[in-house]
């Protein structure tokens, strides 16, 4: 039985290593520097070294100059100057309809009548002649998507579930929630930040550690993580909060509604986390009740998978830092 489970483990682990943070929003900011002159910043995710082939389209007659680009933290950043009349017409994102990605668009005008909206596959254009409000409600959706498609965060939560006993689950997950909420708010509102690469490496190492600790539990070895899992959850939760803040910094917070947008993003993260924990517990119940899956071997396989994937991500991210 254990050989069969380990074979399944190999298949699952092979599909996971490149999957962290695959769904992130694109971001377009257009700032008027002089009448009819704009500075443009365009950010889009890079997946497996390839960009999503998204391109902003401006009204006819707009001309670009001084174009430059760079890739940083898995994001292609393009900047250029533009001469244009943006009082009428539309801005759209070509190629957005072929993705699951949203695109935040901001137009900052000298007159103060700024525009901001979220474009998605079902809403591809920003009307430059119609006023818009701050798209704060969208931050809830972004928070949900970030946790559900951020497989490194999900694996950490899964590791916590495997590590703790049933009575420890609620305080442990609560400690993780409180910790990452603290650093997310501190980074988003207080400007307290850490460099992205060390944060991502530490997150990957935290996953590998939880995998090892969960294996120790299956084998009956007593450790500090098992006696006080809330302490481990809180400590690494502080680091994961900086990871959430890094994703939020790519799109920023809407002017005048920073606190509300941050609150909605954090609530979205927590909602996604609750959905994931509920799905895992339901799967465990169904597997043990109806499929009669052996409990200990299943925990062993899951813990091993978490540890292997966490170690892979840590090595991959360290190599990425050393080679750039």
* Mean pLDDT in residue range 69-95: 86
Average pLDDT over residues 109-117: 82
Closest CA to 25 of 45, 51, 49: 45
62 or 149: which leads in pLDDT: 62
Mean pLDDT, range 138-144, rounded to an integer: 81
Where residue 219 falls among pLDDT bands split at 50, 70, 90? confident
Residue 28, phi-psi category: left (phi > 0), alpha (psi -120 to 50), beta (remainder): beta
Predicted local distance difference test score (pLDDT) of residue 283:
82
Phi/psi at 216 (5° precision) = -60, -40
Which is higher by pLDDT, 63 or 134? 63
Give one DSSP letter per residue of 104-171, joined into a string: EEEEE-TTS--EEEEEBTTB-EEETTS-----TTHHHHHHHHHHHHBHHHHHHHHHHHHHS-HHHHHH
Q: Which residue has the higher pLDDT, 18 or 268?
A: 268
Confidence of residue 22 (pLDDT cuts 50, 70, 90): very low
Any idea which of 7-21, 49-63, 290-304 has the lowest mean pLDDT? 7-21
Tell me what the pLDDT averaged over the chain comes to: 81
- The dihedral region occupied by 141, where left means phi > 0, alpha psi between -120 and 50, and beta the remainder, is alpha
The pLDDT value given to residue 104: 84
What pLDDT was estimated at residue 21?
45
Q: Residue 275 — pLDDT band, cuts 50, 70, 90?
A: very high
For CA atoms 188, 194, 200, 203, give the dihedral sign.
negative
């Amino acid at each position: 039985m254990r050989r069969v489970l380990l074979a399944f483990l190999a298949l699952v682990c092979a599909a996971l290593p490149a999957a962290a943070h695959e769904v992130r929003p694109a971001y377009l900011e257009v700032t008027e520097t002089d009448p009819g002159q704009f500075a443009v910043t365009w950010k889009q995710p890079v997946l497996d070294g390839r960009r999503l082939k998204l391109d902003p389209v401006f009204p006819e007659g707009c001309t670009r100059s001084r174009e430059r680009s760079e890739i940083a933290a898995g994001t292609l950043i393009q900047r250029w100057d533009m001469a244009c009349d943006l009082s009428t017409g539309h801005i759209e994102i070509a190629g957005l309809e072929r993705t699951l990605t949203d695109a935040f668009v901001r137009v900052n005008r000298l007159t103060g009548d700024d525009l901001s909206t979220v474009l998605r596959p079902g809403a591809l254009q920003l009307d430059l002649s119609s006023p818009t409000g701050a798209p704060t409600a969208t931050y809830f959706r972004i928070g949900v998507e970030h946790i559900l498609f951020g497989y490194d965060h999900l694996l950490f939560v899964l590791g916590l579930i495997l590590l703790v006993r049933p009575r420890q689950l609620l305080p442990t997950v609560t400690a993780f929630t409180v910790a990452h909420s603290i650093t997310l708010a501190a980074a988003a509102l207080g400007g307290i930040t850490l460099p992205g690469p060390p944060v991502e490496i530490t997150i990957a190492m935290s996953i590998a550690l939880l995998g090892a600790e969960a294996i120790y539990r299956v084998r009956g070895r007593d450790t500090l993580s098992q006696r006080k899992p809330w302490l481990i959850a809180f400590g690494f939760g502080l680091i994961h909060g900086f990871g959430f803040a890094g994703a939020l910094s790519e799109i920023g917070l809407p002017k005048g509604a920073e606190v509300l947008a941050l609150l909605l993003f954090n609530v979205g993260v927590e909602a996604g986390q609750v959905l994931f924990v509920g799905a895992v517990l339901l799967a465990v119940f169904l597997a043990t009740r109806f499929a009669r899956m052996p409990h200990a071997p299943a925990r062993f396989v899951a813990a091993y998978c978490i540890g292997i994937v966490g170690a892979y991500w840590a090595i991959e991210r360290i190599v990425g830092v050393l080679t750039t």
